[in-house]
């Protein structure tokens, strides 16, 4: 699906074309959402439309490849933060970067919950993200600075919730999400609050959640 999926013996031009397609599609979908046509993506990449379909048989396959790239980036970010000296600061920094990704990429928000995009690799990346964020969250909990009943999956879901809360404001005030991130983070750090009234969510792959507009 992604560049790592290209066969080791693939011709250099195949690897190049795939890279160009992913870059062009990532930019187009981030700017305008999922309605961009495959023809326009081919034009942006300077590649024949038939070449697009040789690499990605459908738009969903292309969207899944881009989604996987973004998830892999978030996983790497969370894993890199997992050994920080100050886990609370690291958790807040990760959440900040996570919401920034959502704000900057329309397509990611539109497609992440679509069942049609739940390829095995995407599901695996979601699992790895929740696990990595769980490590980061557990370190903050062990320090006594974050409430003990929150999980890594809660944090991952909160990223989308913060973005969706600020979404009506972002066109006029692109930084409005920072207000809601601060509110959410203060709630996480309220260690004296009453216990949450509902148990934590199961792994995200067990849910079939559709995003707005899906």
Note the pTM of the prediction, 2 decimals.
0.81
The CA distance from 45 to 94, in Å, is 32
Convert 64-101 to b/e letters by CB count within 10 Å (16 or more is b): bbbbbbbbbebbebbbebbeeeebbebbbebbbebbeb
Residue 5 pLDDT grade (very low, low, confident, very high; cuts 50, 70, 90): low
List the one residue out of 69, 149, 147 whose CA is nearest residue 107. Answer: 69
Domain boundaries, given as residue ranges, for the chain = 1-57, 59-206
Domain 59-206 sits in CATH 3.40.50.11720: no
Mean of all residue pLDDT scores within the chain: 85
To which residue do tokens 């038939």 refer?
A: 50
Q: What topology does CATH give the domain 1-57? A: Arc Repressor Mutant, subunit A (1.10.10)
Top-confidence residue, 168 or 122:
168
Give the residue-averaged pLDDT of 6-30. 80
The CA distance from 207 to 27, in Å, is 29
Residue 208, pLDDT > 50, answer: no
CB 152 within 8 A of CB 136: yes
Top-confidence residue, 117 or 79:
79
Residue 59, pLDDT > 90, answer: no
């Amino acid at each position: 699906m992604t560049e790592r999926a290209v066969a080791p013996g693939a011709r250099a031009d195949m690897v190049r074309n795939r890279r160009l397609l992913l870059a062009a599609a990532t930019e187009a979908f981030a700017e305008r959402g999922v309605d961009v046509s495959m023809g326009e993506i081919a034009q942006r990449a300077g590649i024949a439309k038939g070449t697009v379909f040789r690499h990605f048989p459908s738009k969903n396959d292309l969207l899944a490849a881009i989604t996987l790239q973004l998830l892999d980036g978030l996983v790497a970010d969370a894993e890199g933060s997992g050994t920080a000296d100050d886990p609370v600061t690291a958790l807040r920094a990760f959440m900040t970067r996570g919401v920034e990704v959502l704000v900057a990429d329309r397509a990611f928000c539109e497609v992440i919950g679509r069942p049609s995009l739940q390829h095995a690799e995407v599901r695996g990346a979601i699992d790895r993200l929740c696990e990595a964020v769980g490590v980061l969250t557990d370190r903050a909990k062990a320090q006594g600075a974050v409430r003990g009943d929150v999980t890594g999956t809660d944090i991952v879901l909160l990223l989308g919730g913060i973005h969706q809360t600020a979404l009506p404001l972002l066109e006029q005030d692109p930084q409005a999400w920072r207000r809601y991130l601060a509110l959410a983070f203060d709630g996480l750090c309220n260690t004296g609050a009453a216990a949450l009234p509902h148990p934590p969510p199961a792994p995200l792959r067990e849910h079939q959640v559709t995003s707005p507009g899906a």
